Structure 1
Amino acid sequence: MSPFWGEVFGTMILIVLGAGVVAGVVLKGTKSAESGWIVITAGWGLAVALAVYAVGDISGAHINPAVTVGLALVGEFPWASVPSYIAAQVIGAMIGASLVYFHYSAHFNATEDEGAKLGTFATGPAIRHTPSNFFSEVLGTYVLVIGILFIGANAFTDGLNPLIIGLLIFAIGLSLGGTTGYAINPARDFGPRLIHAIMPIKGKGTSDWAYSWIPIAGPIIGGGLGALSYAAMFQGIVYPALWVFIALFTAVMVLAFMLERKNIKTSDEKFEYQNLRGKKA
Structure 2
Amino acid sequence: MQLGAEFVGTFILIFAATAGPIVNQKYTNSETLIGNAACAGLAAMIIILSTGHISGAHLNPSLTIAFATFRHFPWVQVPAYIVAQVSASICASFALKGVFHPYMSGGVTVPSVGLGQAFALEFLITFNLLFVVTAVATDTRAVGELAGIAVGATVLLNILVAGPSSGGSMNPVRTLGPAVAAGNYRALWIYLLAPTLGALAGAGAYTIVKLQDDDAEPPRQVRSFRR
Structure 2 length-normalised TM: 0.86
Give matches, 1:170-181, under 5 Å: 170-181=156-167
Per-residue displacement from partner, 1:202-224 (whole Å, max 9, x unpaired)? xxxxx1x2410000000010001
Give the aligned residue type for 1:18.
Answer: A
Which contiguous aligned blocks of 4+ residues in structure 1 show a shift greater than 4 angstroms? none
Partners of 1:52 and 1:61 within 8 A in 2: yes
Provide the C-alpha distance between the structure 2 equivalents of 1:89 and 1:21, rounded to a whole number of angstroms.
20
Partners of 2:60 and 2:85 within 8 A in 1: yes
Deviation at 1:227, TM superposition (A): 0.9
Identity percentage over the alignment?
Answer: 27
Give the aligned residue type for 1:15.
Answer: I
SS at match of 2:187: coil
Deviation at 1:90, TM superposition (A): 0.5
Partners of 2:126 and 2:170 within 8 A in 1: yes
* Residue equivalent to 1:258: none
**Higher relative contact order at CA 8 Å, sep ≥6: structure 1 or structure 2?**
2
Residue from 68, 71, 84 that aligns with 1:72: 68
The answer on 1:54 being equivalent to 2:21 is no
* Residue equivalent to 1:214: 190
Structure 1 length-normalised TM: 0.70
Provide the C-alpha distance between the structure 1 equivalents of 2:193 and 2:70, rounded to a whole number of angstroms.
19
* Residue equivalent to 2:3: 4
* Residue equivalent to 1:100: 96
Give matches, 1:1-281, under 5 Å: 2-27=1-26, 30=27, 34=30, 36-105=32-101, 108=102, 117-120=104-107, 122-127=108-113, 129-152=114-137, 153=139, 154-156=141-143, 158=145, 160-197=146-183, 207=184, 209-236=185-212
Per-residue displacement from partner, 1:13-70 (whole Å, max 9, x unpaired)? 001111111111122xx2x653611111111111111222232111100000111011
Provide the C-alpha distance between the structure 1 equivalents of 2:44 and 2:164, rounded to a whole number of angstroms.
19
Please provide the CA RMSD for this pair: 2.1
Give the aligned residue type for 1:217.
Answer: L
Partners of 2:21 and 2:36 within 8 A in 1: yes
Partners of 2:45 and 2:151 within 8 A in 1: yes
* Change over 3 Å in CA distance of 1:17–1:211 after alignment to 2: same
Q: 5+ residue gaps in structure 1?
A: 112-116, 198-206, 240-281
Q: 5+ residue gaps in structure 2?
A: 219-227
Deviates most, 165-174 or 216-225: 165-174
Provide the C-alpha distance between the structure 2 equivalents of 1:238 and 1:72, rounded to a whole number of angstroms.
18
Give the aligned residue type for 2:120.
Answer: F
Per-residue displacement from partner, 1:67-91 (whole Å, max 9, x unpaired)? 1011111100011111111110001
Aligned residues: 213
Partners of 1:142 and 1:223 within 8 A in 2: yes
Partners of 1:232 and 1:238 within 8 A in 2: no
Provide the C-alpha distance between the structure 2 equivalents of 1:151 and 1:157, rounded to a whole number of angstroms.
6
